[in-house]
Amino acid sequence: LFADADGESHLGDIELDVSLIQYAPPAPALELTDPVEAQRFVWIRFPEGWQDAAHVSPRRQVFVLIEGEIECWTSSGDRRTVKPGDRVLMEDTTGKGHGARTVDGVAFGLMIALE
């Protein structure tokens, strides 16, 4: 999620650069990105029927969905259903923001603050 110069929010895809690194010898090498500083994290539970019309992200953060489904949308009309295992880099800290709602029950995730 990000906001453009006009304040419209959008969904986009990014590719991460990874390198093969011997991270935890003697385990086989893994593909890792460069480290990203994080401030803190919270577990987050969205109750059944939770919905918000629009809000900006309170800070630059990463959301990882663990259970359930969340549908999100942007001011530019993009829509996406976030499913368990999906990760969302949330950078729309200005502009018109994004909306979200639970899909068929509760959802549970992890929010990692980057600032």
pLDDT per position as a tens digit, 32-46: 999 989 989 999 999
pTM of the model: 0.86
CB 32 within 8 A of CB 107: no
Q: Are 95 and 8 in contact (CB under 8 A)?
A: yes
**CA atoms within 13 Å, Cβ hemisphere of 53:** 1
CA distance 78 to 71: 11
pLDDT per residue over 44-102, tens digit each?
999 999 999 899 999 999 999 999 999 999 999 999 999 999 999 999 999 999 999 99
Contacts of residue 80, Cβ cutoff 8 Å, sequence gap at least 6: 11, 71, 72, 73
